Structure 1
């Protein structure tokens, strides 16, 4: 027994295969020699995915585009003989950093609103409030549980009570820049300091909208490949 084991480990003895009761047995452990698969490339845009697929640089086989999330898209092949997929490409969105549910001081929130959000009416209203708020007035903030009121500059030399909009409809940069950024509702709150924070209030519905927009983008850009059955999309 020991001799047989040593011979097998040294490659001097081959495993014996036999069949019994319609099942195949071996007197030694067997290890599957898997087909090699490529290292996955990483890109940062949807256009790179389109260019890669249309170039047929690595393969002309059928490909699947998997829209896993608003920020991650994968391209892979059909399963091989080992039931493994060749992972060709991973597109990961490059996004500005903004922490929801986190209070920023007025200078920080001013910069974040301009650099991390698409311009719209609600964003502009928030910028006016944040930029003109009187620091000493925040301590006497009026709050009915939903809306808030603060004292802010309403003219060149005048101040007055300004109602803080709530909820606010904003479009943060949260997905690939090639598609329209989804608009969703946020709860805008202010604290003494003054400091401001945004809280997501759509239950994550924007993610489904963003993934559908990514799908539509690929359907337009890869129309020929989809019609011929060379590319399939799941989201």
Structure 2
């Protein structure tokens, strides 16, 4: 019998288990047979998750852990299985968010449409829209001729009709998390440039993400208060 045949017989044999110093050792790799798990059900609203949890939470053996992963994602985990030490992920919520062109120059008409369709209407937003409505693109030349010399003055760029001062920092509420919760307010740097271009640069260092997660967690804690009090649901952020 050759060596490969002997090694194959050894491989097919039962593993040798040895306990030493409180640790269990094996001469073969052992794999845990996982128990059956439910497929993940995906939602796009927090309201859909709440209704489903109220209807189905009794089907799970232990408390469900709701993790507000980020401003647009919520994951629900089951309790740890006693058989394979794994968790199910029965529910997942992903917000359907609009794309907002921050940190880039837009013509003022596109910026006006963006502000009106992708931001919560607030007094400061209305003031900004009113300000941008006074923008004119200036591209003119004035000729002066006294019979001996000619002078030409060329003006290019953008101007404000009412000659208003522009506040460079604005506080706005873009739609950046689930619609069921209050959108977090954050600061933006407003820049006007030649060619009638306008840009909004994020200026809060990403602090809005923390507030968004807190708003989502607060919504779930309120909507699932009875299940939380009964120890059937835990909400973390």
Q: Which residue of 2 aligns with 1:110?
A: 112
- The whole-number CA distance in structure 1 between the counterparts of 2:194 and 2:90 is 51
Provide closer, same or farther for how the CA distance between residues 3 and 79 of structure 1 changes in structure 2, counting only shifts above 3 A. same
Q: Which residue of 2 aligns with 1:172?
A: 174
Q: Confirm or deny that 1:63 pairs with 2:71.
A: no
Q: How far is the alpha carbon of 1:226 from its aligned partner?
A: 0.5
- The whole-number CA distance in structure 1 between the counterparts of 2:10 and 2:178 is 55
Q: Which residue of 2 aligns with 1:133?
A: 135
Which among 150, 156, 159 is matched to residue 151 of structure 1?
Answer: 159
Larger mean Cα displacement after TM superposition, 65-74 or 36-45: 36-45
Contact 2:124 2:172 in 1 (8 A): yes
Larger mean Cα displacement after TM superposition, 211-220 or 126-135: 126-135
Larger mean Cα displacement after TM superposition, 28-37 or 202-211: 28-37
Q: How far is the alpha carbon of 1:194 from its aligned partner?
A: 1.1
Name structure 1 gaps, 5 residues minimum: 142-149, 154-159
- The whole-number CA distance in structure 2 between the counterparts of 1:201 and 1:121 is 19
Q: Which residue of 2 aligns with 1:157?
A: none
- SS of 1:85's partner is coil
Q: How far is the alpha carbon of 1:64 from its aligned partner?
A: 0.6
Contact 1:151 1:162 in 2 (8 A): no
Q: How far is the alpha carbon of 1:88 from its aligned partner?
A: 1.2
Alignment size in residue pairs: 219
- The whole-number CA distance in structure 1 between the counterparts of 2:18 and 2:25 is 5
- The whole-number CA distance in structure 2 between the counterparts of 1:87 and 1:58 is 16
Q: How far is the alpha carbon of 1:20 from its aligned partner?
A: 5.3
Considering only aligned residues, what root-mean-square deviation do their CA atoms show, in Å? Answer: 2.4
Q: How far is the alpha carbon of 1:75 from its aligned partner?
A: 0.6
Which among 89, 92, 105 is matched to residue 90 of structure 1?
Answer: 92
- The whole-number CA distance in structure 2 between the counterparts of 1:39 and 1:73 is 16
- SS of 1:135's partner is strand
Contact 1:43 1:90 in 2 (8 A): yes
- The whole-number CA distance in structure 2 between the counterparts of 1:42 and 1:137 is 53
> Deviations along 1:155-195, whole A, 9 cap, x unmatched?
xxxxx312223211111001100011111211111111111
- The whole-number CA distance in structure 1 between the counterparts of 2:222 and 2:86 is 29
Normalising by structure 2, report the TM-score.
Answer: 0.82
- The whole-number CA distance in structure 2 between the counterparts of 1:4 and 1:32 is 27
Contact 2:57 2:232 in 1 (8 A): no
Contact 1:103 1:196 in 2 (8 A): yes
- SS of 2:165's partner is strand
State the 4+ residue runs in structure 1 displaced beyond 4 angstroms: 18-23, 137-141
> Which protein shows a greater Rg?
2
Which among 221, 228, 231 is matched to residue 229 of structure 1?
Answer: 231
| Residue correspondence of structure 1 range 1-235 to structure 2 within 5 A | 2-7=4-9, 13-19=13-19, 23-56=23-56, 59-61=59-61, 62-81=63-82, 82-136=84-138, 151-153=159-161, 160-235=162-237
Provide closer, same or farther for how the CA distance between residues 216 and 27 of structure 1 changes in structure 2, counting only shifts above 3 A. closer
Q: How far is the alpha carbon of 1:151 from its aligned partner?
A: 2.6
Name structure 2 gaps, 5 residues minimum: 141-154
